[in-house]
Amino acid sequence: MNRLYELWNSIPWSRIAEQFVYDPQSPMIFSSGIFLWLAAAFLIVYAILHRADTLRILFVTCFSYYFYYKSSGFYFFLLAVVTVSDFFIAQVMARTESRAKRKWLVALSLLIDLGLLAYFKYTNFFGHIFSQISGMPWHDMDIFLPVGISFFTFQSLSYTIDVYRERIRPLNRLLDYAFYVSFFPQLVAGPIVRAADFIPQIRKPLLVTREMLGTGMWFIVCGLFKKAVISDYISVNFVERIFDNPSLYSGVENLLGVYGYALQIYCDFSGYSDMAIGIALLLGFRFNINFDSPYKSASVTEFWRRWHISLSSWLRDYLYISLGGNRKGKVRQYLNLMITMFLGGLWHGASWNFVIWGTLHGVALAFHKMWMTITGQRLGTPHRRWIQVLCVVFTFHFACLCWIFFRNKEFAGSLTMIHQIATAFHPEVLLKVVTGYWQVMILMILGFVLHFAPKRWEDACKRTFIKLPSMAYVLILVAMIIVIMQVKSSDIQPFIYFQF
């Protein structure tokens, strides 16, 4: 009896209890140590329930809500509000024959989802605009932005809009819909998964093939390397310093900082997407790819077919086409592109910097469409090698210019950075910067080399990895965790897109 009492007291109950309490200073993310332990326990239970579909779906849904609570606190109830409202709206819509009533129902879904998004994300932003116009004072409200609210509201909206357009039939089980909206791998930072792609997989017999296991582990390892090694290290040790005080650094340092941020945001976001895709594969679900080497693009149009594909396709299908797309003449098409990207910029955050970022991309898309119309070219038309290289270089630097506005919190900071690059370049300090930040520079070079490497090289490495024995996956994952522990900073670096 005494032995049992001693064993009971030796268990770190307080440490275990902490895992059920939200800590705003340490949100749960895929690259955190606690998630890796929880994921291992989760997979064991998931495997035990592989034949009990309803219990498995309920278990994953409960874990997803726990994961979201650990990421965003008690605001997980917003996820429930969006889920329940859109589920029943879609149910009523499917039984309604009147087109006018169906429009009112889909408008109600838009009002609820976008209303929540607008309140939490844009209240203070539009309050300041109203104050400037009216001259009346505005005091910022203390509003916490729930993690990933932009992602799960857009995902749920795509479901009700597709039901309205009669592209899909609504689900009959609230549990299944809650599973779809809250599925934790992509809940807080995407990719935005379409109902038509995901729902047919929910009740299928669970099957994780050898190829799915290997591919899933490949994506997880690659995602961890991108996020926790490259992105976090160059962010903490170089990029943040430059963007926090651009006036203190020469133009060449500012330019390297911009290049570093271009790599950081790509590795951060695509790394998260890779891990989400990999974890989903281990659970028997397939997601579409979300990034396809975007800096290889030879035009801004191609860039948006490679960058954050789930969002760009969402904006195309549910906003651009709804505005008229290219069906109402060229001038209207150009205007629709600019409106879509303006709103796409605003989706990223309540800041004029995001609006400028989106508007710049919208104008560039319109000019590129105009150029293709004038020259009669089509997207993907092969160019001479040197022209292709020039187009890639130009597109990359245009994206980098836009990233300056995306990253800076204040418009003045963006202008300062551009001014330093244009008027105080000082290339003579380049060697000193490279030697002073040699670890950062090595990781940046490695990151860009891997990004621009031929696709066939990546495919060959992937095929070789998949053929490895299962124990090799475990050893490689452990080795990656050891590397992460050696290079990580003392604080957890949240994913950039958590703020959106």
d(CA 238, CA 259): 11
State how far Cα 166 lies from the chain centre. Answer: 28
Burial class (CB in 10 A: 0-12, 13-18, 19+), 171: buried
d(CA 440, CA 224): 17
Among 128, 139, 308, 348, which one carries the catalytic annotation? 348
Kindly state the helix (H) or strand (E) to which residue 278 belongs, with its residue range. helix 251-282
468: number of Cβ within 10 Å: 14
Rounded alpha-carbon distances, angstroms, from residue 102 to 84, 341, 437 = 18, 28, 59
Q: 419 catalytic, yes or no?
A: no
d(CA 243, CA 390): 28
Question: What's the CA dihedral at 5, 8, 10, 12 to 10 degrees?
Answer: -150
State how far Cα 56 lies from the chain centre. Answer: 26
Instruction: Please provide the DSSP assignment of 104-160 as one string.
Output: HHHHHHHHHHHHHHHHHHHHHHHHHHHHHHH------------TTHHHHHHHHHHHH
Q: What residues contact residue 343 under an 8 Å CB cut-off, 6+ apart?
A: 315, 319, 358
Where in the sequence numbering do the catalytic residues fall? Answer: 348
